[in-house]
Structure 1
């Protein structure tokens, strides 16, 4: 899993300890082995003997983060910073704890201070980039991830992080370059191929996208999203059979995701399997009855089957959920015309026109005199 999806706790590297620092070194070894409870116990003894030991306080804060006691971690890091307000490692770790608690804005303040006191603190730049990404400061995240790469050492995580920021900014070609560099450094991570596949898809490189999704699925066979992504690319290539197979696999892996049923329904609609499409839209609606798109899509298939009353019902449900979509009024008006209900159809066309539909305006001119 990449750093963008989860803030990893990092061990702080301190100067080589003298013989009197043996207890501190023993605690660090326990931290490195993820024995957070043991490390916390050892560090508490050190702190009891010296309550202003900023290194021990910072390390105990890290142990508490490992135990998911983030408030306790912040408490220890606050004490460390009372001893030395310029201690960059404590500021960085406190920022990580705040991130874990969902306080990205507060985390950015701490990471910025850490960078102020250690201008070459690569991890603080990475962490600040992650926090900025969380608050949708994509340009800021881009800058910080670039700075982390500049400071080095280069690794797959750093290129991946910047690639994601670029993709979010719509710079898909440049994102592909970063994902490719990440893959050169780590060919075993399925997410790298998957994300590069998404960028290829967004610039219309469908064959390259499918090739990346193939590699991702070879490495991670149980990720429903990867199958769904490949299905989208296959659908764009008009390989509807292949797309349906991938959507079906995605549903097997994650049967509680309504959007996958919806997308499979759209694909079935494309091959005129309207019964199958209706069945999928119905499953999507059963899982999420608040999405008007699912009702719109089912209405289209019902219209193809000449179930006009059912289509009107679905369009009406969609309008209740989202009453400002001109296309839904326009489509419901067309169905009502098919039912020879010109009066109500014209009312729908008028509402669609008021909402900005040029098609509805033309329909009024033709049908509503």
Structure 2
């Protein structure tokens, strides 16, 4: 009887421990869902101290560490969980996700391949592998993974959005629009969905729909300069110069450190023959990014229109120093030198432009160089 009683007491203790463990895990899960990552980590550490072989607690603590941006610590927890059970698909998936966050996409793919092998219905593993493949430009494989995640379900806005982004990268803009539209049907409050669909419409020359999408995106998120810049490009395409300039102005008001916005506004001012305004914008772009040859080329064009030939030559020279294999820059500098009656140097530039493949240089040489 004593032996039986001892066994019953032991079994009772095990049941009590199991119930306590289950309750502790459930409490930790709720903390994770509430984004109380520190609280979850603390609670799970106590469970792990009580049972170092608790693979579920290790995996959950790893997820808490991910929430705290401690990806190395998270990988350590997932690795310990996998030492207990090498087929633990959840730990493989989250370790792969942590590796993606650290830029280790190739190793992440190895983990995610295993997660999918052990659980072929694991939609999140396909999604994460899709991200890793996207990061290393394996776009067709990423497309497959995002499609598989959608097939496994449940369908949500993020899954359609992910596949839409890959389709757009592959140049399949019409199909990307379909995915973005489905994403918007599932989440009408995400400004980025409208913005991305607007970009796809812009790339299919459907500018009116692009502008409507940018309008919706800006209404939901009025403080993002990129959305104003995108709308400015679409307005420029339909020759709404005033509206485009207003959008570029707003984008610069929100972020005055982006050289490309100044450059784009300069291009628009150049097109409207506001050469002084264009030069001011190109100069701002150059101050922010002095290593971009395009900005010097653009400023040189405006200076040429103002007959500031010496300044234009200086800008083309700076551009050539940064990118010495562009035939167009040599051609343009050569033509300016001819206007300055510097035929010798001008013809040298034209010959160099011809050597680099300029289609216009040969005719200019025939006409101007003996």
Q: Smaller-chain TM-score range?
A: over 0.9
CA distance in 2, matches of 1:30, 1:318: 56
CA distance in 1, matches of 2:363, 2:216: 49
Pair 1:239-2:237 in alignment: no
Instruction: Show CA shifts across 1:120-154 (max 9, x none).
Output: 10111111111111111110110000001101111
Give secondary structure in 1 for the equivalent of 2:324: coil
CA distance in 1, matches of 2:363, 2:342: 18
Question: Deviation at 1:37?
Answer: 1.5
Question: Deviation at 1:278?
Answer: 0.2
Checking the alignment, whether the CA contact within 8 Å between 2:218 and 2:227 is kept in structure 1 is yes
Aligned residues: 353
CA distance in 1, matches of 2:194, 2:236: 19
CA distance in 1, matches of 2:66, 2:316: 50
CA distance in 2, matches of 1:216, 1:24: 40
| Residue of structure 2 in register with 1:86 after alignment | 87
Q: Which runs of 5+ in 2 are unaligned?
A: 1-17
| Residue of structure 1 in register with 2:6 after alignment | none
CA distance in 2, matches of 1:30, 1:178: 33
| Residue of structure 2 in register with 1:355 after alignment | 356
Pair 1:40-2:41 in alignment: yes
Judging changes above 3 Å, is the alpha-carbon distance between structure 1 residues 270 and 21 closer, same or farther for their aligned structure 2 residues?
same
Where do 1:1-369 residues align within 5 Å? Answer: 18=19, 20-369=21-370
Checking the alignment, whether the CA contact within 8 Å between 2:263 and 2:285 is kept in structure 1 is yes
Instruction: Show CA shifts across 1:238-295 (max 9, x none).
Output: 2222111111110001100000000000000000000000000000000010000000
Question: Deviation at 1:350?
Answer: 0.3
Give secondary structure in 2 for the equivalent of 1:358: coil
Question: Deviation at 1:19?
Answer: 5.4
Question: TM-score, normalising length from structure 2?
Answer: 0.94
Name the larger-Rg structure: 2
Question: Deviation at 1:164?
Answer: 0.2
CA distance in 1, matches of 2:88, 2:122: 12
Question: TM-score, normalising length from structure 1?
Answer: 0.94
Question: Deviation at 1:20?
Answer: 4.7
Question: Deviation at 1:362?
Answer: 0.6
Of structures 1 and 2, the one with the larger relative CO (CA 8 A, separation 6+) is: 1
CA distance in 1, matches of 2:213, 2:68: 37
